[in-house]
Amino acid sequence: MIFHTTETVCALTGTHEANLRRWQRRGLISTENHREGWSDAQLDEIYLIKAHTAGGASLNEIQWSHTDAVSHRLTGWPARKGDLLWLLEFGSERALLRSVRNMAGDFSSEDFINLLMRPLNRWLRDDRRQGAEQRLERFHHCVILHFYSINRAADRNCATPLFLEAISVTDTTEIWLEAIRLTGEGFCVEISSEVSETPAVSQRHYDHHLLWCGAGISKSRYQLYCDSITAGQPVLLCGTDKQVNEYH
């Protein structure tokens, strides 16, 4: 029988080890234990769960579909978006934060951020109905609180340290969403969200340094970035707009 290491399974499926442990605790992955690693049967189960969660199905829905005789319809991302919108309108801060935490545990970090939270953030920013500003403010605040919660856990687990520095922003929530995604990928993130032409100073040692570019990068900061690359420092550009701005 062929067995696969956890590292191999994570690479093949794009799933973090924490998700594998969570899915197995929920009974969605068979509990056969092999010192050699994960079996082909377990790998097939992981692929199936990943396919369902990538479509927005919650772990509860998947569990019900596995255990109940009655067939349950698996809902998708529109249902998850609707759940959060209802809480942003009517729910308490505690209920909203708990729902976000539970959803983050159901899905891979990549899917949770790129398929739910970022589209919802854009939708809230385009919304012009009554109460839109308050809903967006509540969403932004919840995102920050969720980041600090999961990042404290990452720090306790000695996750790989990473420094995320804002170079430019057009959307104040985006960099925090990226920080959540990175934390879910196995990093402990220190974030500097205030934009400045002067490089931010990290408060601790880091193995990776990401420069978030939401609205381009000035020529002076780009030159500093190139100098850092030449010096062999672990720095990379990231974000939605990495174009050099010629007017600064």
Between CA 18 and CA 10 the distance in angstroms is 10
Torsion angle of C-alpha atoms 116, 87, 48, 181, degrees rounded to 10 = 40
**For 186, what's the count of Cα atoms within 13 Å in the CB-facing half-sphere?**
10
Report the pLDDT value the prediction gives residue 19, as an integer from 0 to 100.
85
Confidence label for 248 from pLDDT (cuts 50, 70 and 90):
very low
Closest CA to 53 of 74, 22, 78: 74
Burial class (CB in 10 A: 0-12, 13-18, 19+), 181: buried
Confidence label for 26 from pLDDT (cuts 50, 70 and 90):
confident
Report if pTM > 0.85: yes
Token pair for residue 99?
């729902």
Report the pLDDT value the prediction gives residue 79, as an integer from 0 to 100.
94
Which residues are CB-contacts of 236 (< 8 A; sequence separation ≥ 6)? Answer: 208, 209, 210, 211
73: pLDDT strictly greater than 90: no
Q: What is the mean pLDDT of residues 28-57?
A: 88
- Pairs from 5-11 (Cβ < 8 Å, separation ≥ 24): 5/37, 5/38, 6/37, 6/38, 8/37, 9/37, 9/38, 9/43, 9/46
Tens digit of each residue's pLDDT (9 = 90 or more) over 229-242: 999 999 999 999 99
Angle of helix 93-106 relative to helix 77-90, nearest 10 degrees? 160
147: pLDDT strictly greater than 80: yes
Q: What is the mean pLDDT of the chain?
A: 91
Tens digit of each residue's pLDDT (9 = 90 or more) over 148-170: 999 999 999 999 999 999 999 99
Residue 192 φ then ψ, to 5°? -120, 100
Looking at the DSSP bridge assignments, the partners of residue 55 are none
- Percent of residues, the chain, with pLDDT higher than 90: 74
Q: What is the mean pLDDT of residues 19-44?
A: 86
Confidence label for 72 from pLDDT (cuts 50, 70 and 90):
low
